[in-house]
Amino acid sequence: MTPKRSVLAADAALLGVALFWGMGYVAMKAALDSFTPFWLTVFRFLSAFALLCALFGRRLVRLSPSALKAGLLAGGLLSLGFWVSTVGLQYTTAGKQAFIVTAYVVVVPFLLWAATRRFPGFGPFLAAALCLCGMFLLTLQDNFAIGLGDGLSLLCALFLALHMVVVERFVREIDPVAFAVLQIGVVGVATVPLALAFEPFPGAVAPLGWAALAYNVLLGTVFALVTQNLAQKYTSSTHTALILSLEGVFGALTGALLLGESFTMRMVLGCALIFVSILMAELLPPGPAAVPEPDAPS
């Protein structure tokens, strides 16, 4: 597969991640009717970790000490992102959080510039600015105010942006599947003390709660995080952030269809601007800090 086709395949895979994560906000909202935030994170990530260890355990034990340190760093950032996201979802709508979290698309180019000290070109900044305008139209309401849930969602965006940059830094040196499994394990294990300290153990769980948990384990965690790590071996964190920003579109559409959340013409325009920003990222030539030549797929 040529480098260009590798990038296109990675982008297509990330589109699938955006779809499942966008729909996952509705599933998380449903799961929170049966689980408290930290226990939901524990069940979600430890279940995913157990499943992935059964499939890829041998790859995990072959990680070097330096790879383990990188996994702990990436997993720590991912933990912070999911903690504030899950807690914040109790105080805002699924569709609104889906869009606010995608503010990472604006943060990533600046973080990458700071980390590499190489200007990534004007293309990513133009695309990010257009995407930000789209997100503004999507989240703005007549009585819009930044509440607790919105603030936590913005904090989640920062942690996820840092996570994407860290993954890009290390994923070309580490088995991406084992790297993803390690991060998932870190989130699950790190959340256990918080759940034990601050929340009661879940009681009776409704069938819808188990179904929502299963969705987030299989599609929102196992598929999404492994695919993201694999894809970032062939594409940049800036590109990744732009494509994953479509999770906001999918989240709002799903929230409107399944939860009756509003979806106005202004929001449609916002979706269109985000879509155009993705096309810009695909078509504009890369800058000097663009992703290095992708490795040939094995």
Kind and range of the H or E run holding 263: none
Asked if residue 292 belongs to a domain, the reply is: no
Asked if residue 171 belongs to a domain, the reply is: yes
pLDDT, average across residues 223-238: 87
Assess whether pLDDT exceeds 80 at residue 191: yes
More confident: 258 or 188: 188
Contact 266, 140 (CB under 8 A): yes
**Domain span holding position 151:** 3-283
d(CA 134, CA 199): 37
pLDDT, average across residues 170-197: 94
Average pLDDT over the chain, rounded to an integer: 83
SS3 percent helix, strand, coil of the chain, rounded to 5, is 80, 0, 20
Domains in the chain: how many in total?
1
| pLDDT, tens digit, 9 for 90 and up, residues 20-50 | 988 888 888 889 899 998 999 999 999 999 9
Asked if residue 125 belongs to a domain, the reply is: yes
Assess whether pLDDT exceeds 80 at residue 297: no
More confident: 197 or 126: 197
The two tokens of residue 106 are 């604006």
Which sign, positive or negative, has the C-alpha torsion 78, 164, 294, 15? positive
Q: List the end-to-end C-alpha distance of the chain, in Å, as a whole number.
A: 10
Assess whether pLDDT exceeds 90 at residue 295: no
Assess whether pLDDT exceeds 70 at residue 225: yes
Asked if residue 290 belongs to a domain, the reply is: no
Asked if residue 102 belongs to a domain, the reply is: yes
pLDDT of amino acid 293: 42
Asked if residue 98 belongs to a domain, the reply is: yes
- Highest mean pLDDT range out of 89-93, 128-132, 170-174, 213-217? 213-217
Lowest-pLDDT range of 36-45, 73-82, 233-242: 233-242
In 3D space, the residue among 102, 90, 158, 140 whose CA is nearest the CA of residue 269 turns out to be 140
More confident: 79 or 282: 79
Lowest-pLDDT range of 113-122, 154-163, 243-252: 113-122
Assess whether pLDDT exceeds 50 at residue 298: no
More confident: 47 or 280: 47
Asked if residue 57 belongs to a domain, the reply is: yes
Assess whether pLDDT exceeds 60 at residue 99: yes
Asked if residue 255 belongs to a domain, the reply is: yes
Assess whether pLDDT exceeds 80 at residue 244: yes
Assess whether pLDDT exceeds 80 at residue 139: no
Q: To which residue do tokens 């990330």 refer?
A: 14
pLDDT of amino acid 277: 76
